[in-house]
Amino acid sequence: MELVLPYLESEGFKQGLLHDYRFRHQDFLNSTFMEMPDDLGTGKLILFSKKNFHFFRGKWNFGEETIFHSPHKVGENDLMDFRISTEGKISSNLISGEKEFEHDTTDIDGMRIFIPKNLFPKDNGLLMEKLNNAERNYLSQEKLKTIFDTPFEDFSGSIILESRILEFLSYWIHYLLSDEKTFESKKAFEEKIKLAKDFVDTNAFRELAIKEISRYCGLNNCDLKKGFKDYTQLPIRQYIIKTRMEAARQMLLETEKSVGEIGDSIGYCNRGHFSQLYQRYFGKLPSEERL
């Protein structure tokens, strides 16, 4: 069987599936949920269409060997194509230097993304190197895993799925536009998170900005926040409060310092705010700890 569809035009792609191949569909906000007719096989996809780019997540199996063709030539409509599998393999016809879209589409579980090609450098050799590096990158693979772990049985999961794809795109486009040659390995990333935790532990009793921690450990804010929470099971701000509260309790039980002195020493000049946080954390006021 041959599947022939416009590939670089989201509305044409959608209408081709609906009218030429009788896919069932349901529109929801800026997404369309489509399901394959039973006589062709089993499967579904969700298509997201933006102003100047589009992407879809799909999983299907045609009942017979099926080859995809498109009347669009690679690079038309000023779009760059990316194909991403659940195994984390990322490829692009444009970057690979191919002229035609022709793929075995019999059994697919993955994602397709089409982005304006003028966003990226024209050096396909550099882009190919970065594609290969991305497949070995811990953070890139983790972000993809959240996408592929998101169910899309119907349109109800589309908002979560869209947000996770956009998060990956933000990370991915930043990398393609950067001068970086490689992504962080898992080991290097974990070392930087440990460095961030040590820095927070040392400086928890003073005002700490996320940007300061980010600069110290060498991670961007988004990756720092996610990695820190995965490592400590708490967001950075909550981890700082926990550290302060545990130190305050120890001082209350082991020293003669006043509640005000203890609050000042751990970074709370407002005694009422300190007492409120302490009560929320331990279920009693700091003044009640010594009773």
* 252 shares a domain with 219: no
174 phi and psi angles, rounded to 5 deg: -55, -40
* 201 shares a domain with 266: no
- Which is nearest to 268 in space by CA: 291, 290, 247? 247
Contact indicator for 66, 104 with CB cutoff of 8 Å: yes
Return the pLDDT at 199: 93
CA atoms within 13 A on the CB side of 33: 14
CA atoms within 13 A on the CB side of 8: 20
CB atoms closer than 10 angstroms to residue 233: 9
Return the pLDDT at 151: 87
Q: Can you name the residues that pair with 34 across neighbouring β-strands? A: 25, 45
Q: In what order do the strands lie in the sheet with 100-104?
A: 2-4, 67-73, 100-104
Return the pLDDT at 248: 93
Q: What is the pLDDT of residues 72-115, one digit of tens each?
A: 999 888 898 999 999 888 888 988 889 999 999 999 999 999 99
From 157, 177, 197, the end of a domain falls on 177
* 141 shares a domain with 193: no
CATH of the domain at 276: 1.10.10.60
CA distances from 134 to 13, 116, 127, 168, 172 (A): 28, 20, 10, 12, 9
Q: Measured between alpha carbons, how far is 135 from 8 in angstroms, rounded to an integer?
A: 24
* 256 shares a domain with 143: no
Return the pLDDT at 184: 61
Q: What residues have CB less than 8 Å from 32, skipping those under 6 apart? A: 14, 25, 26, 46, 47, 49
Q: Which residues in the chain show pLDDT less than 70?
A: 121-124, 133-136, 178-185, 291
Q: Within its chain, how far is the Cα of 2 from the centroid? A: 34
Q: Domain of 29? A: 2-177
150 phi and psi angles, rounded to 5 deg: -85, 120
* 151 shares a domain with 30: yes
* 94 shares a domain with 29: yes
Return the pLDDT at 277: 92
* 220 shares a domain with 134: no
* 268 shares a domain with 216: no
* 93 shares a domain with 6: yes
Write the DSSP symbol of residue 184: P
Q: For the whole model, what pTM was predicted?
A: 0.65
Split into its structural domains, the chain has a count of 3
27 phi and psi angles, rounded to 5 deg: -85, 140
Contact indicator for 139, 189 with CB cutoff of 8 Å: yes
* 150 shares a domain with 78: yes
* 96 shares a domain with 48: yes
Return the pLDDT at 121: 66
Return the pLDDT at 89: 85
Return the pLDDT at 45: 94
Q: What is the pLDDT of residues 243-261, one digit of tens each?
A: 999 999 999 999 989 999 9
* 275 shares a domain with 227: no
Return the pLDDT at 71: 92
